[in-house]
Amino acid sequence: MALEVCIECYKYKKAAWQFQLGKDLCTEGKLQEGLKLLGEVVGMNPKKTEFRGHRAYWLQKNCQFEEAKKEALTVLIQLNPSYLLAYQVYFSSCLLTGDVRGMENAIRRMKSCPGRITKSRCKIKENEEVLMTLKNVCVRLEELERAKNFFEILNICKEALKIAPYSHVFLVKKGIALFGLKRFPESVEAFKEIPKYATSFRVLDVMSKAEYLSLKFPRAMEFNRQAIDLLNESAPERKNLIKFREFMAAISEGIIQVLIAMRNKHWKIMQDRAENTKNLVINGSYKNEPLKLQIMTFEAVAFVQQTKFDEAFVIVSEVLSAWNTSYSALSVLVHINITVGKYQDALEDLGRMKGMKEGVDDQMVDRRILEARTKLQEMKHATEPPARFLNLYSMLKLPFSATDSEIRSQYRNMSRTYHPDKTRHLSASEQNDAKNQLLKIQTAYGILSDPIRKNNYDKGVAAMEIRKTTDSKNILVIRLEECRKKYPKVFALTQHHQNQP
């Protein structure tokens, strides 16, 4: 008998020591290790109110709300119906998860609590106010959802999530509101915040559609496959829906094959696969206009890479007529226009693209604008008198025999003189003249600093000098003929003296 008492005493002391150690680990932030020890302690002595109550508290801190509620209810129903910590854990777990029925149950138990001191500490009135607030929010959200007022739903959900940050209902409605507002990436991120979102077909369905509409096909296919697996497990009788999801998966697979062909630069294969995938979208049950237009853009890219600009232009024009803000279609059109020499059209399209996407894409647009402007300027110069007819050396105030170092030095000096920072104090007309002068200096230096262009220019100048000499001789001959006709007697006399011996 004494041995049994000693064993029980040892078990009690071990459980108390292990309980304190588990609490200390949880307090230090090591929740997994601490909860493991607390679970072992509860297993040693399952009827100890303190053990179960503190385990419920730390389960709640670890966001294991369902288990925390079970532990708290076990304490309240079986062990001690006036244990304050269990009431607090049960109500706060229901509140954080937005469980309105659970909150009602918690308040009802608080009111029927046998301990008057515990009842007074439960703050029943405050909890009832919070409960009524959440109930009103739920009713208001239902009304707004019927009216499809997604903007107001989003604002209300954001405020409600400050009270119940782990509410499955509010998180789902927030994601659907973002989807309705066409903020697809934010919608997907909102759904990912939902605990165990992969077990909800509704969530997976909206996530896959959001990724399709934001044209992120591999991720769309991933969520779509999860939805198919969930349907096969939970509702295999819904054959039509499973077939529809499999059809969407086939489209995703086709688009991925298009992207692989594009990465490998197999343009003919890319064109064929894009065409097949487009036919799937057009002829199937999943009518998605943005998706069809994006696939058509892929097809246009394949045509461009095969230098079939006419076919590509027809497809891109059709895409832009239906979707005039398509960044990728505008990019293809700009490429076609620059390639075929329609630089002004390219600049207009680049102006539409400017600001559509920030960061690297915007820098790319700036580079293309500079490229198109340069090409347009070169084309204008080709129709104007050649630069060799301009005296570039005189623009830089240099002799024709100036060396490269002299040209470089003179350009730097004159650029400083006419730079906008140096002409701010001048009048508007003087600043404009200085700007034109700087442009002329830059043009002259651009030719004379390039060895090949300078050589061609120098040859042109030399040829012009010869032409001028030849032209001047021809003018003298013409004048002489005119004088001979005008004064025939004088020229006859001159001829007579030349013929004398």
Domain presence at residue 88: no
pLDDT of residue 455: 78
Domain presence at residue 404: yes
Mean pLDDT of 128-148: 87
Domain presence at residue 204: no
pLDDT at 163 over 80: yes
Burial readout 450-487 (b: 16 or more C-beta within 10 A, e: otherwise): eeeeeeebeeeeeeeeeeeeeeeeeeeeeeeeeeeeee
% of residues, the chain, pLDDT over 70: 83
| Structure confidence by residue, pLDDT tens digits, 436-480 | 888 788 878 878 888 877 777 776 666 556 555 544 444 445 555
Report d(CA 449, CA 405) in Å as an integer. Answer: 10
- On whether the CB atoms of residues 58 and 38 are closer than 8 A, the answer is yes
Q: In terms of pLDDT, which residue wins out, 80 or 221?
A: 80
Report d(CA 309, CA 336) in Å as an integer. Answer: 7
| Structure confidence by residue, pLDDT tens digits, 435-447 | 888 878 887 887 8
Q: How many CA atoms lie within 13 A of 168 on its CB side?
A: 14
Mean pLDDT in the chain? Answer: 78
Burial of 153 (0-12, 13-18, 19+ CB in 10 A): buried
206 — pLDDT class (breaks 50, 70, 90): confident
Report d(CA 487, CA 480) in Å as an integer. Answer: 10
pTM for the structure as a whole: 0.53
pLDDT of residue 138: 86
Range with the poorest average pLDDT among 91-95, 182-186, 365-369:
365-369
| Structure confidence by residue, pLDDT tens digits, 326-362 | 788 888 888 888 887 788 888 888 888 877 776 556 7
Report d(CA 401, CA 422) in Å as an integer. Answer: 30
- Backbone phi and psi for residue 182, each to the nearest 5 degrees, phi listed first: 65, 30
Q: How many CA atoms lie within 13 A of 257 on its CB side?
A: 17
Domain presence at residue 231: no
Domain presence at residue 463: yes
% of residues, the chain, pLDDT over 90: 0
Opening angle at CA 401, ends 396 and 405, nearest 5? 65
Domain presence at residue 151: no
Report d(CA 161, CA 12) in Å as an integer. Answer: 43
Residue closest to 59 by CA, chosen among 71, 49, 48, 50: 71
Report d(CA 276, CA 294) in Å as an integer. Answer: 13
Q: And the tokens for 381?
A: 């110069």
499 — pLDDT class (breaks 50, 70, 90): very low
pLDDT at 237 over 70: no
Report d(CA 245, CA 206) in Å as an integer. Answer: 12
pLDDT at 382 over 50: no
- On whether the CB atoms of residues 60 and 68 are closer than 8 A, the answer is yes
Q: And the tokens for 301?
A: 């890219």
Q: Which helix (H) or strand (E) holds 51?
A: helix 49-61
pLDDT of residue 394: 79
| Structure confidence by residue, pLDDT tens digits, 9-21 | 656 677 778 878 8
SS (H, E, C) 350-377: HHHHCCCCCCHHHHHHHHHHHHHHHHHH
pLDDT of residue 385: 41
Report d(CA 120, CA 365) in Å as an integer. Answer: 67
Q: In total, how many domains does the chain have?
A: 1
Range with the poorest average pLDDT among 83-97, 115-129, 266-280:
115-129
- On whether the CB atoms of residues 75 and 49 are closer than 8 A, the answer is yes
Which residues are within 8 A (CB) of 333 and not within 5 positions of it... i.e. 6 or more apart?
313, 316, 317, 320, 349
Long-range pairs, 217-223, Cβ under 8 A, ≥24: 217/252, 217/255, 217/256, 217/259, 218/252, 218/256, 219/188, 220/248, 220/252, 221/249, 221/252, 221/253, 221/256
Burial of 392 (0-12, 13-18, 19+ CB in 10 A): buried
Range with the poorest average pLDDT among 222-226, 228-232, 424-428, 460-464:
460-464
Q: How far is CA 179 from CA 117, 143, 191, 399, in A?
A: 49, 18, 10, 70
| Structure confidence by residue, pLDDT tens digits, 486-496 | 556 544 544 44
| Structure confidence by residue, pLDDT tens digits, 9-60 | 656 677 778 878 888 888 888 888 888 888 888 888 888 888 888 888 888 8
pLDDT of residue 483: 58
Q: In terms of pLDDT, which residue wins out, 91 or 477?
A: 91
Residue 438, domain CATH = 1.10.287.110
Mean pLDDT of 112-137: 84
Amino acid at 446: G
pLDDT of residue 494: 42
Domain presence at residue 33: no
Domain that holds residue 414: 390-470
Burial of 384 (0-12, 13-18, 19+ CB in 10 A): exposed
CA end-to-end span of the chain, whole Å?
A: 170
**CA dihedral sign of residues 360, 365, 369, 371:** positive
- On whether the CB atoms of residues 444 and 400 are closer than 8 A, the answer is no
pLDDT at 3 over 70: no
Report d(CA 250, CA 281) in Å as an integer. Answer: 10
